């Protein structure tokens, strides 16, 4: 025995001993008749080598599972991997030097692209398996659940079939968040907010029938102005008619002094009027001369281009006094909140951009410009028309695609949704029964998320994912949802695109051809189905489900409030009628010693391999389990050194 602890030598000996003697398998066999401990592994994306956060998470899981084994429990310890979706597609696009979605179909071919995605995901899975095992983590590494397997896909299809049968799955139009670079819809939980600097402009819209009178709106998204259909006021606010030089401007009374002061403009209050009385005022669209479609829409809809009194009964806090002028530019085709307001008042949602974020011919003079990217050109055009009364640069949060990191836009498209909003109150009630550690993670954070839950857009216009199992008759539009390969009734190489796209069914109603809706599922639905799709279910029947479902315990980081915890709860509630987990441990993030996020640009990344090479796995494991629930782990070498010394 060495006099000094040499982690590299000792750990290699221990790992070899475990492997040679099948110690892990013996420990599993020993507890086969013990009480069950139902655990489900939150699957990491197979996008590359593990990072410190992933390693910390797995060490925490391993610590708890080992403790349960020592107590005699028959522990379900199957590791899992998330192997579909944009996380994989974007990486493969980088490898293949693909710049646009169009290239996948025209230059690469969907079949070859999918095969590249599969190989990339599998190669990384085995790399990650070895890294986790080197950390000393005991899981069933020979039998991980993989979201790309047909059996797993059938588990997700089964859940959709259940939701469909309950009327909780529907096709509907909506103003959805859209990634122009990836050319697909995104859900709320797929957005990352970053601080950006944008043009903040105050624009005057001329009121019709009122000489030299204007409503003043404010926006940080000039690209949405071509789609403007209304100006919202709060019916409970007072608005001032201000004399500014030879013009009359309407702004919120409580914002007038500060706003005009910032502009350096002198003004005189002529009168005050309630927002309620402004409802129905007609104004001229700022681009009426440039966009012929806007003139057409105004002729067809009397409420188009009018002032709308939007109270909390229509949409809470749609018009506030926090920023701007107290009058809100409203474009139902360029934002989900605006879409709801537009639907309430019966004004149309105009989409003037295509799937690449490029303005179409319907945008008239602006055809060919790009949403968000060409904001400055819209500002310049408004300046030339003398419509901008104030301009500034503001720093604010703006949503970005979680995978390609590009700013998102909004457009109206038909998408498939899971109607979780109707289950919101039941989810909140069920959440109170779940044991959360720390308790505030469930009582405050997850509760707040559930309170603001909206219907889940699950369709994605991509290639590498679980195919949406919906076929539509080309003649009578009859729709059929398939819940399994057996129900499909057609031999197919596998359930992925493009092979599943070639399956044509016969319509039960009119005997015409039924073709599949060419979408794949939100990748978060993949992992949301894990508690049952990772089992031999539905193939294994209800007996296997009753044995291992719902899960006793899960453990993940705080980012999963809006991610995995959300998809687990939502999908299980619409398919099983109850949550899929009974207790949760939530940990924080790993940052550097100063609390900064680790990133290549900051040069502060530390890999698990570096830690193992210097101090060994056991020192890192001991270091990992010292933190408090819900708190971030500020990585520093000194504390790892202390853990190393404690083992020596």
Residue length of the chain: 648
Distance CA 425, CA 420 (A): 10
DSSP 106-140: III-HHHHHHHHHHHHHHHHHHHHHHHHHTT--S-
- Position 193 scores a pLDDT of 92
Angle between helices 23-30 and 7-21 (to 10 degrees): 60
Distance CA 495, CA 526 (A): 14
Q: Which two tokens stand for residue 269?
A: 């209050």
- Active-site annotation, residues: 43, 82, 524, 560, 564, 597, 600
Distance CA 609, CA 36 (A): 34
- Position 396 scores a pLDDT of 84
Q: What angle do CA 626, 629, 632 make, to 5 degrees?
A: 75
Q: Which two tokens stand for residue 94?
A: 């980088």
Class of 7-148+523-647 per CATH?
A: alpha beta
Q: Where in the chain are the domains?
A: 7-148+523-647, 192-410
- Position 2 scores a pLDDT of 58
Average pLDDT per run of 10 along the chain, which is 648 residues long?
73 92 94 97 95 95 97 97 96 94 94 97 96 95 97 98 96 92 92 90 94 94 95 94 94 91 90 94 95 92 93 89 91 92 93 96 96 94 94 89 93 95 96 98 97 94 98 96 94 96 96 97 98 92 94 97 97 97 96 86 87 91 90 92 85
- Position 535 scores a pLDDT of 96
356-406: pLDDT as tens digits: 999 999 999 999 999 999 999 999 999 999 999 999 888 888 999 998 999
Distance CA 185, CA 461 (A): 7
232-267: pLDDT as tens digits: 999 999 999 999 999 999 999 999 999 989 888 899
Q: Which two tokens stand for residue 518?
A: 């060419």
Considering only CA atoms, which of 319, 317, 299, 189 is closest in space to residue 254?
Answer: 319
- Are the beta carbons of 426 and 76 closer than 8 angstroms? no
- Position 388 scores a pLDDT of 95
CA 601 vs CA 52, 94, 281: distances in Å:
17, 19, 51
- Are the beta carbons of 155 and 534 closer than 8 angstroms? yes
Ramachandran bin of 201, using left for φ above 0, alpha for ψ from -120 to 50, beta for the remaining angles: beta
Terminal C-alpha separation, the chain:
13
Distance CA 171, CA 162 (A): 16
- Position 1 scores a pLDDT of 52
Residue 307 exposed, middle or buried by CB count within 10 Å (0-12, 13-18, 19+):
buried
CA 213 to chain centre: 43
- Assess whether the previous peptide bond of 550 is cis (omega < 30° from 0): yes
Look up the CATH number of domain 192-410: 3.90.740.10
CA 99 to chain centre: 22
**At 597, is the secondary structure helix, strand, or coil?**
strand
- Position 178 scores a pLDDT of 95
- Position 265 scores a pLDDT of 87
Considering only CA atoms, which of 518, 521, 485, 515 is closest in space to residue 503?
Answer: 515
- Position 3 scores a pLDDT of 63
């Amino acid at each position: 025995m060495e006099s000094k602890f040499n982690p590299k030598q000792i750990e290699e000996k221990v790992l070899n001993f475990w492997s040679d003697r099948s110690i892990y398998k013996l420990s599993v066999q020993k507890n086969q008749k013990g009480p069950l401990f139902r655990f489900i592994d939150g699957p990491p994306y197979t996008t590359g080598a593990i990072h410190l956060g992933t390693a910390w998470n797995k060490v925490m899981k391993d610590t708890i599972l080992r403790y349960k084994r020592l107590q005699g429990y028959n522990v379900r310890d199957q590791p899992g991997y998330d192997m579909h979706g944009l996380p994989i597609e974007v990486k493969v696009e980088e490898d293949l030097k693909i710049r646009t979605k169009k290239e996948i179909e025209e230059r690469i071919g969907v079949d070859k692209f999918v095969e590249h995605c599969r190989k990339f995901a599998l190669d990384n899975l085995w790399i990650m398996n070895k890294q986790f095992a080197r950390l000393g983590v005991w899981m069933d590494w020979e039998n991980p659940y993989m979201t790309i397997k047909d059996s797993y896909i059938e588990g997700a299809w089964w859940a959709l079939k259940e939701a469909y049968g309950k009327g909780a799955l529907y096709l509907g139009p909506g103003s959805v968040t859209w990634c122009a670079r990836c050319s697909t819809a995104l859900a709320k939980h797929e957005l990352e907010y970053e601080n950006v600097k944008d043009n903040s402009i105050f624009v005057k819209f001329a009121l019709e029938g009122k000489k030299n009178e204007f409503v003043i709106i404010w926006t940080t998204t000039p690209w949405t102005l071509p789609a403007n259909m209304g100006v919202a006021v709060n019916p409970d606010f007072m608005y001032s008619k201000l004399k500014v030089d030879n013009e009359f401007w309407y702004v919120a009374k409580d914002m007038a002094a500060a706003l005009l002061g910032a502009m350096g403009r002198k003004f005189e209050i002529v009168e005050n009027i309630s927002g309620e009385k402004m409802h129905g005022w007609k104004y001229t669209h700022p681009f009426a001369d440039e966009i012929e479609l806007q003139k057409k829409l105004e002729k067809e809809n009397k409420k188009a281009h009018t002032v709308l009194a939007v109270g909390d009964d229509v949409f809470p806090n749609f018009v506030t006094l926090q920023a701007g002028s107290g009058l809100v530019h409203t474009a139902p085709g360029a934002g989900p909140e605006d879409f709801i307001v537009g639907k309430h008042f019966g004004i149309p949602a105009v989409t003037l951009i295509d799937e690449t974020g490029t303005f179409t011919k319907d945008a008239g003079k602006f055809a060919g410009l790009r949403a968000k990217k060409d904001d400055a050109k819209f500002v310049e055009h408004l300046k030339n028309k003398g419509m901008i009364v104030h301009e500034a640069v503001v720093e604010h949060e703006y949503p970005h695609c979680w995978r390609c990191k590009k700013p998102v836009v909004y457009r109206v498209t038909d998408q498939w949704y899971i109607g979780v909003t109707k289950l919101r109150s039941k989810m909140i009630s069920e959440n109170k029964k779940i044991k959360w550690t720390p308790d505030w993670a469930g009582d405050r954070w997850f509760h707040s998320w559930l309170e603001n839950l909206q219907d889940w857009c699950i369709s994605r216009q991509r290639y590498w994912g679980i195919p949406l199992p919906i076929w539509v008759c080309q003649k009578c539009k009859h729709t059929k949802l398939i819940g399994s390969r057996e129900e499909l009734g057609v031999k197919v190489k596998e359930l992925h695109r493009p092979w599943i796209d070639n399956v044509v069914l016969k319509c039960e109603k009119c005997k015409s051809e039924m073709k599949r809706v060419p979408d794949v599922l939100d990748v978060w639905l993949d992992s949301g189905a894990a508690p049952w799709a990772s089992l031999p279910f539905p193939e294994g029947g209800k007996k296997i489900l009753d044995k291992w479902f719902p899960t006793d315990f899960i453990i993940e980081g705080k980012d999963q409030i809006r991610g995995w915890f959300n998809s687990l709860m939502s999908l299980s509630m619409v398919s099983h009628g109850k949550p899929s987990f009974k207790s949760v441990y939530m940990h924080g993030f790993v940052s550097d010693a100063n609390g900064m996020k680790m990133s290549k640009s900051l040069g502060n990344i530390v890999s698990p391999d570096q830690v193992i090479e210097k101090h060994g796995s056991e020192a890192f494991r001991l270091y990992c389990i010292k933190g408090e629930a819900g708190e971030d782990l500020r990585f520093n070498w000194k504390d790892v050194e202390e853990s190393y010394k404690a083992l020596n």
